Amino acid sequence: MIGRRAAVGGLVAGALAAPRGPALATLLKVQRRPSETFTLANGLQVVVLPSRRAPIVTQVLVYKVGSADETFGQTGIAHFLEHMMFKGTGTLAATEFSRTVARNGGRDNAFTDFEMTGYHQTIAADRLELVMRMEADRMVNLRILDHELRPERQVVLEERRMRVDNVPSELLDEAAREQLFGRHKPYAMPTSGYVEDVKRLGVNELSAFYRRFYAPNNAILIVAGDTTADSVRKLAAKYYGPIASRKVEPRRRPSEGGTDLPQRVMRADARVAEPRWSRDWLAPSYRMGETRHAYALQVLARLFGGSETSRLSRALVTDSKIALSASSGYGASSLGLTSFEIAVHPARGRSVGEIEAAVGAQMKRVLDGDVGADEIERTQNQLLASAIYSQDSLASGPRLYGRVLATGGSIADVDEWPQRIAAVRPDEVVAAARHVWRDEAAVTSLLAPADGWQ
C-alpha cells in the first residue's frame, strides 16, 4: 500500500512524446536492460527480464486495478481483495499458497496502490513452474467464503489502525489528499479504505470486484532472473493461456483536482514529537495534464530537494540550520493528475513563517530562472546512476515495468527514459516549476504537537 508521498520519479518510464535536443556528452550512459515481451492470445502481456546473477527468479503478476478504481462507499475493496487472494482456491487451501512457496525456499507477498495490485514470489529458478501454476489458479479459481472473510476483515482494519490511524502524519496526509484531489475522488480516497466502508464489504462485493478486474487481458506478468523468454513463454501458455479473457471497462480519472484551492490543513496531536511543514501542488503526470513537463519535473524534484546536497537541504539544513531535513518529491506514473511535494522538518524553535519564507526564497530562485546547465547535468547524472543501479535488482525491475505498463506506458518508455531525462534543458525545468508552483493549485499541511505550532 502506498501513502500520499510520491517518490522522486527517477526510475519510471517516459511520456509518449519524443525528447527534444541531444543529451549532453558528459552524461552517464545507461545501457538498455535486456527484456523480451509477448502477449498471449487471451490478452495477458508477458515481460521477461533475464539475469544470470543468481539461480533464482521473481514472478510478479500485476493487475491493472487499484484503489483509484473504487467508488465512494466501497473504498478499500482492492486492498481487501488482495488479502483474500491468499485464502484458497478449489485446489489450494487457505494460506497454502504462501506455505508452499516457503517450503520450497521462496518468499512471496502482495501490494495495492492507487493504480495497480501486484502479487510476487521470489524462488529458485527450477520452481518457477510451481509458482506460475498457483498464481494462474488463483487468477480464475479464487474462493471468497464468508467464514474466511470475516476474520480477514479484522486483519485489514488492524492494518489500517497500525499504519494510518496510529500515525498522525498519515492522518494529515489523508486530509491533504482530500483537499488537493477533491473529496470522494479517486486519489483522495485512502488505499486502505474508510473504516465504515471496509466494515460493510462482504462476499458479494469482493466477488463482483474480482470478476470485474481479475482477468488475463487486464494483467501483466513479469518474470525476472535466471530464465529465458522461451521457457517463460511455454509455461505462461500452459498455465495462463487457457484462462478466458473478459470485457474490462476503460479506466477513468478526473482531469481536475479539488475546488477552492489553495487550502491549509493542520493536525495537532499529542503523539507528534517533531512538527512538519509540507506543501503539495497538483501536477501533470505522464498521462494527464501538461504531460510535456513530466521529465523536467523529475529533474526539478531531484535538483531542488532530492538529496542532502540538493538546494533546499543545503539552504535550510546545512547553511541556515533552520531545518532538520528538507526534501521534494514527484511521481509521474499515474493515470490521472499527480502531485509535487516539498516537505520540511523544522529545527527546534523555528516558526512556520520562517520555514515558509526560506522555502519561498529558494523557489523564487528557480522561478526567476536561476538554474544552470552544470547543475542540471549533475542532477541528471544522479538520476541516471540510480537507473544503472536498479538493473541489478530482481525486485525493483519487475515492479517498475509493472507500473509503467499498468498506467498506459510501453516497454519503449522504460528503455528510453534515460535519454529523455538526459535531454531536459534548464529552461524546461524553469518552465515546469512555473507551471506547477502556483498558489491556486496547492495545499499546505502543518503537523504539530498537541499545543500547536506557530
- 403 falls in which pLDDT band (50, 70, 90)? very high
Residue 331 has pLDDT above 60, yes or no: yes
pLDDT for 114: 98
**Residue 158 a catalytic site member:** no
Q: Is residue 26 a part of any domain in this protein?
A: no
Residue 40 forms part of a structural domain: yes
Please tell me whether residues 234 and 271 are part of one structural domain: no
The CATH number for 348's domain is: 3.30.830.10
Active site residue: 70, 82, 178, 416, which one?
82
**Final residue belonging to a domain, choices 224, 239, 254:** 239
363 Cβ contact partners less than 8 Å away, ≥ 6 residues apart: 433, 437
Average pLDDT over residues 205-229: 98
Same domain, 295 and 403: yes
At residue 396, the pLDDT reads 80
**Within-domain flag for 144:** yes
Are the C-beta atoms of 376 and 295 separated by less than 8 Å? no
Look at residue 335 in the predicted model and tell me its pLDDT: 97
What pLDDT is attached to residue 29? 87
Q: Are residues 44 and 192 in the same domain?
A: yes
Question: What pLDDT does 5 receive?
Answer: 39
Q: Are residues 277 and 157 part of one domain?
A: no
Instruction: Indicate whether 3 belongs to any domain.
Output: no
Question: In terms of DSSP bridges, do strands 219-225 and 45-50 run parallel, antiparallel, or are they unpaired?
Answer: parallel
How far apart CA 148 and CA 84 sit, in angstroms, is 8
pLDDT over threshold 70, residue 387: yes
**Residue 320 and residue 209 share a domain:** no
Residues 228-248 have pLDDT tens digits of 999 999 999 999 999 999 999
* E-state strands within 30-106: 36-39, 45-50, 56-63
Mean pLDDT on 421-442:
97
- Is 191 a member of any domain? yes
Which whole number is the average pLDDT over 277-288?
Answer: 98
How large is the C-alpha radius of gyration of the chain?
A: 23
In the block, residue with C-alpha cell 547543475: 375
As a whole number, the mean pLDDT across the chain is: 93
User: Are 319 and 399 in the same domain?
Assistant: yes
Per-residue cell: 415: 528503455
Taking the alpha carbons of 209, 211, 217, 219 in that order, is the dihedral positive or negative? positive
pLDDT > 90: percent of the chain: 88
From 239, 271, 304, give the residue that closes a domain.
239
DSSP type of residue 142: B
Q: Which of 223, 239, 255 is the last residue of a domain?
A: 239
Residues 230 and 272 occupy one common structural domain: no
For residues 32-37, average pLDDT = 92
Cell 490543513 belongs to: 265
Strand 338-346 to 323-330 pairing: antiparallel
Q: Is residue 13 a part of any domain in this protein?
A: no
**pLDDT value at residue 388:** 87
Residues 269 and 207 in one domain: no
Residues 77, 114, single domain; the answer is yes
Q: What is the span of the domain harbouring residue 176? A: 36-239
Same domain, residue pair 80 and 193:
yes
Tell whether the model's pLDDT for residue 371 goes beyond 90: yes
DSSP annotation of 65 reads -
Q: How many residues does the chain have?
A: 454
Helix/strand/coil (H/E/C) assignment for every residue in 304-360: HHCCCCCHHHHHHHHHCCCEEEEEEEECCCCCCCEEEEEEEEECCCCCHHHHHHHHH
Domain count, the chain: 2
Does residue 312 share a domain with residue 163? no
Element (H, E) at 400: helix 396-406
Same structural domain, 206 and 169 = yes
Q: Count CB atoms within 10 A of the CB of residue 166.
A: 11
Do the beta carbons of residue 62 and residue 222 sit within 8 Å? yes
What tens digit of pLDDT does each residue of 102-112 get?
999 999 999 99
308 in any annotated domain = yes
Q: Does 79 reside within a domain?
A: yes
352 conformational bin, left if phi > 0, alpha if psi -120 to 50, beta if neither: alpha
